[in-house]
Amino acid sequence: MKFLTAGESHGPQLTAIIEGIPSGFTISIDKINRILKKRQGGYGRGRRMEIESDQVTILSGVRFGKTTGAPVTLAIENKDYSHWKKIMSIYSEDENNERRVSKPRPGHADLNGGLKYNLKDLRDVLERSSARETAIRVAVGALARQLLEPFQIHFLSHVINIGGITADSYLELELTSLEEMKNQIEESEVRCISPHKSAEMIKVIDRAKTNGDTVGGIVEVVVTGIPVGLGSHVHWDRKLDGRLGQAILSIQAFKGVEIGIGFDAANRFGSEVHDEIVYSKERGFYRVTNRAGGIEGGMSTGEPIVVRGIMKPIPTLYKPLYSVDIDTKEPFQASIERSDACAVPAASIVAENVIAFEIANHFFEKFSGDSYQEIKGQFEIFQSQVKEY
């Protein structure tokens, strides 16, 4: 599968076209919209979330609730566009400088994009580079994960760090079920499983907001029900961990990625890093631990996949940093666009769904076909092969 997105932060809508979805899969618009709503939540969000209430429209590729095999088009209306029609107009006769941006903001794409594309109004850069674009990517991931539901593959995300306040990773938690974990996460304003840590994280966000500052953190995505063998050891561009890493780092403001115990592996001996393999007739081959995060040699092991992404503090500050005006070349305080004090909880939803698309993509590379029935047949044959190995 592949997809293309289009649209600006204050344009009419965000659009995605997804190619390669097999026929016969059931799609629920309500499920996509529920996930979109989660992306807009979380403690520390700004005023934009009070304006938008994202709802997806499916314009092609689904009929009577099932995929047809044709490209699927998704669209999300930008309700704020009603206030920006003149400023974001496509017609030359409407051109005006009312909201022209000449002061690039540190930490943003503004200056690099202006220099690269020779744009004298940096709004042409910031409108597309905005994290608003993640709304349509979440919609794509929310659809992709529905393709995996018949195969009992499930996703969750949570926040394990905001501003240095750290909660337990999935690998450290002792929970009876994934559903229990989901329930506890949803009860937290910052999507943290620990009520005590949640309260501390909220205090950090409040302190940053009072100071006109912002704060970043770490999110974790967990995928369960993954069959062994997604990805490949054969070529660099087919390695599952490589593509999951790229997906995480493609999210605006994400600067690092870990799989399993991640960077902590550098602090341990090999005996404390690698997962011993055991066998039972009931489970087949499995690992005693899951420090590898469900991936070895570029392929899934069958254990839960655990991926973390590191998000920097949002660079739009209400006590702006200094920059240089591209017109006058004089120092200036960077211009302020409406922003959040912290978007880490929302970013966990983004991470969860960009990972969902990549997992679905690898799944359909392994179990290829044009229809649900064809893919289901291949999946069942492979599961039997693994069981009898």
* Cβ atoms of residues 54 and 137 within 8 Å: no
Domains of the chain: which residue ranges? 2-388
**What's the confidence (pLDDT) of residue 316?**
78
**What's the confidence (pLDDT) of residue 334?**
65
Block means of pLDDT (10 residues each) for the chain, length 389 residues? Answer: 97 97 98 96 69 89 98 96 93 86 92 97 96 97 98 97 96 81 93 96 94 94 97 97 98 97 97 96 94 98 98 85 93 71 96 98 96 97 94
**What's the confidence (pLDDT) of residue 373?**
97
Give the pTM: 0.94
**What's the confidence (pLDDT) of residue 52?**
62
**What's the confidence (pLDDT) of residue 25?**
98
Domain 2-388 class in CATH: alpha beta
**What's the confidence (pLDDT) of residue 96?**
79
Distance in angstroms (rounded) separating the CA atoms of residues 294 and 149: 19
**What's the confidence (pLDDT) of residue 143?**
98
**What's the confidence (pLDDT) of residue 51?**
62
**What's the confidence (pLDDT) of residue 337?**
56
